[in-house]
Chain A
Amino acid sequence: MAPARDRRTGFSRRRQYSAFFAYVLAIAGALVGIALLVVSSFNPPAFAALRMTVASVAAPVASGLDATVGVVRAVPDAIGSWFRVHGENAELRAQVARDARLLTRARVMAYDNRRLRALLALRDRSEDVVVTARLVASSATSARRFALLNAGRFQGVRPGMPVRGPVGLVGRVLETGPIAARVLLVTDPESLVPVRRTRDGLPALAAGRGDGRVDIRSVNATNVRFQPGEMFVTTGTGGIYPPGIPVAAIAASAIDSAIAVPIAAPDALDFALVERPFLPMPVSTPRAAAATHVPPQAPPPAP
């Protein structure tokens, strides 16, 4: 490649100044970058509005692409199922016959459960689905694990709401824009979900690793053995995630800290359900007003 032709700016004052100020601006740009970085690392939601405004433009585009890919991907499935209809029909009939027995047992158990909970005076919190939306894109170049949800503030999505798929926990809403929201996936290295083992209720923490899996760390016991296939569900501790949502299953046996595979694969998800936080943030009590309220004074003593 030939050398840069006009590094020498010659006698033209204009070119000398413009070259000089270009470098001044370049260095100033780097300094502005440092300043922005400091602000955004000490106050991560500082630029959420700006980011989510841009995301609200990107989300419809991603939704369109996502729908297109879905349609194209459905074509081979449709052809395959056309040829498999008869065999599948027979299989499904056999499965219905098998499941009828299980269903009866489950109904009995559900009735028992309701009755026993009524005895204990426990109240089940009804599941409040805010909106059903799709995860349409993700931070595929960054090491952080965010997904873009194609529903936002207009649909009632607020930061802090848990997001789940039909089978397991996906993450929680971090920032919201008008029609898009950013979801922190459970596999993000800064995500922590309190979980318990389904077998014996052993409390643990599911911490994201950043490589598509999570670390299950035992919380208050040492020398805990994890076996492959053990399931972990949310506890409801912390008030964000409702209890009982499957989070991950252990991949390999280990002691105290094990690698687990998330139950819900966000990419294979048809729909993501955004729910209300399990325990909403307490509203600020009008304590200030109560403090300024002066108690009625005693009547002045009679002269």
Chain B
Amino acid sequence: MNTIDHQPFRMPLPPGRARAVPWLTVIGGSALTAVVPVVASFALLPPLGLVLLLTWRLLARFSLRAWAAAPLGLFDDLLSGQPLGSAVLLWSACFLTIDLIEQRLVFRDFWQDWLIASGCIAFCLVAGRWIALPLGARVDLVLLAQIVITIALFPLSARFVAWIDRKRGAAA
């Protein structure tokens, strides 16, 4: 990775805007999934909002407040087609769980982050399916594929978030 800072004297973003950037990326991820011009026969598109939210939380711990998951989840619910409140609940639960894990697992590397994110993604998608659909619906294979795709997207999302975080400057 290229770590040369070509503009070492450039001013970082003002704190207000730096704090808004993670929110905007998560909202943008949620909105992007809703405007993809494809009428899908089954759900395979990864929930980009959730992946970006988890990446911000795991890579840049103080970029989002502890309560940020609920309003961001509300926005995702308005667009995703899930019953309203499912992402509010599940994303908040993910944030609280990550907080609990963070107290025990203080030094983490990328693989552990990926593992934690995988658990959260699988939990959100499985619980979301359980909330949205009757038990008899036959979507389990598709759901499994969606979980795998979403988990595989995490490293890409981590690169993206790290890039934005570096541009954003060291706003604590």
Contacts and interface: CB of A to CB of B under 8 A. Distances in A.
B40 interface: yes
Interface string A195-215: 000000000000001111000
Interface residues of A, number: 65
Contacts of A29: 67, 69-71, 73, 88, 92
20 contacts: A22-B66, A23-B99, A27-B96, A28-B67, A33-B87, A36-B84, A50-B84, A51-B84, A54-B79, A58-B34, A139-B43, A139-B81, A141-B146, A143-B137, A143-B139, A143-B142, A148-B34, A189-B139, A210-B137, A211-B138
B132 A142 contact: yes
B40 A138 contact: yes
Contact of B139 (A37, A210, A267): A210
Interface string B125-151: 000110111101111011100100000
Interface of B: 31, 33-48, 59, 61-62, 65-67, 69-71, 73-74, 77-90, 92-93, 95-96, 99, 102-103, 106-110, 113, 128-129, 131-134, 136-139, 141-143, 146, 172
B41 to A, nearest CB: 3
A30 B41 contact: no
Interface in A5-50: 6-7, 22-23, 25-30, 32-41, 44, 46-47, 50
A135 B44 CA distance: 18
A136 B37 CA distance: 5
A65 interface: yes
B41 A137 contact: no
Contacts, number: 204
A142 B41 CA distance: 11
A274 to B, nearest CB: 15
A252 interface: no
A126 B65 CA distance: 58
B141 A47 contact: no
Contacts of B132: 142-144
B39 A147 contact: yes
Given A29-B69, A33-B92, A140-B44, A266 B39 contact: yes
Given A33-B88, A35-B85, A144-B82, A4 B102 contact: yes
A187 interface: yes
A258 B87 CA distance: 34
Given A1-B108, A212-B42, A36 B88 contact: yes
Contact of B85 (A40, A61, A138, A148): A40
